[in-house]
Amino acid sequence: MGGCPVPASGGLLWGLKKRDTEDEEIVIDENEKQVRYERGTRHWRPTQPGPDCMSFYKRYNGQGYNKYDHYQSMDECCSDSKFPLCMAACTATTSTTSTPTTPTTPTTPTTASTCTVESTTYNNGDTIGTGKCLIQKCTGGTVQYTNTCPTGWDKVTVDGKDKCFKYGPTQGDWSTAKTYCEGEGGSLAVITSAAEETAIKTYLKGQTDFSKAWLGGYAEADGTKLKPFEWKSGSMQGLDLTKIYTDWCGEEPEDTSDEQCLGIDDPTKTSGVTGTEYCWSNRKCKQKRNALCEICDDCGTPE
């Protein structure tokens, strides 16, 4: 048991002689599972002759039960046979098992590139068909529809939605204008909001010969007066236009039974109309005006 350091003063010395230490004991604590050394009051005298190795043994406690439950240290001759009592430092180690990671290959989302309509396959971006108001296209693997204007019609954007109008090239009475628009696949224009009115005014200002045009409003005669004006064309046909939107000029409408047809005027160019902005007036249906036609006003997108 050599090799242990010698304390500077007091304490326990391994491998050297110890005398008269009858109160020094080695106590085994069963609860804490450790060996404890308890030192008495006697002093070690290293120059005293005698045995020079230290041992310990069970000591009788003078009681009947568990009478050998203490351990007494003593010095012995080093040549005596004893079991060794060894002490070693314990070091706790923690092992960590790491799981190797497998690199993953990023995936790129795929987008369907074809559409099949009946027995025909179309690539992404192909036009499948063009109707009067809609274009049918293959987009991202699905058939989608976008609004369009037929050839010869002008696109006018109203509240973010594209509408299609045409300004008739010649002047005629209200019935002739109505027939002209229907022959072009549309109807006399219907105006249902201030936003639409503003968009149409901008469109008409781009027509170099515009002064007045027919709209799709008409009032039945009621004796010498007029019944309320109604829209007689498009998706609003049969509805009282005064309950939807109006933009009358000055003192219009004139409540006389022979002025049954609705038009839009540029007051600076139309005699008998007051104001500075384009506005509505009711006139005799035989008056000559250009037709203002619209198309696709009731076209929806197929499901």
Q: What would the DSSP string read from start to end of the chain? A: -TTPPPPSSSS--SSS---S-TT-EEEEETTTTEEEEE--SPPP-TT--S--EEEEEEE--S-STT---EEEEEEE-TTS----------------PPPPPPPPPPPPPP---EEEETTEEEETT-EEEE-SSEEEEEETTEEEEEE---TT-EEEEETTEEEEEEEEEEEE-HHHHHHHHHHTT-EE----SHHHHHHHHHHHHT-TT-SEEEEEEE--EETTEEPPPEE-SGGGTTSBGGGT---B-TTPSP--TT--EEEEE-TTTSTT---SS-EEEEE-TTS-EEEEEEE-TT-----
Of 31 and 179, the structure prediction assigns the larger pLDDT to: 179
How far apart are the two ends of the chain, measured CA to CA in Å?
Answer: 96
CA distance 129 to 36: 99
pLDDT band at 73 (very low <50, low <70, confident <90, very high): low
281 beta partners:
263
What is the arithmetic mean of pLDDT over 40-51?
Answer: 46
pLDDT band at 38 (very low <50, low <70, confident <90, very high): very low
pTM score over 0.75: no
pLDDT band at 35 (very low <50, low <70, confident <90, very high): very low
pLDDT in the model for residue 105: 62
**In the chain, % of residues over pLDDT 90:** 44
Q: Answer yes or no: is pLDDT of 102 > 70.
A: no
pLDDT in the model for residue 136: 87
pLDDT in the model for residue 56: 60
pLDDT band at 2 (very low <50, low <70, confident <90, very high): very low
The token duo for 302 is 């197929």
Reported as a single tens digit per residue, the pLDDT across 255-276 is: 999 999 999 999 999 887 877 7
CA distance 257 to 248: 18
pLDDT band at 20 (very low <50, low <70, confident <90, very high): very low
What is the arithmetic mean of pLDDT over 207-219?
Answer: 95
The dihedral of CA 180, 247, 218, 289: what is its sign?
A: negative
pLDDT in the model for residue 40: 44
User: The domain 151-295: what is its CATH number?
Assistant: 3.10.100.10
pLDDT in the model for residue 88: 58
Question: Which residue do the tokens 């090799």 mark?
Answer: 3
Q: Answer yes or no: is pLDDT of 201 > 90.
A: yes
What is the arithmetic mean of pLDDT over 218-229?
Answer: 97
For all residues of the chain together, what is the average pLDDT? 78
Of 71 and 187, the structure prediction assigns the larger pLDDT to: 187
Reported as a single tens digit per residue, the pLDDT across 118-135 is: 889 999 989 988 877 788
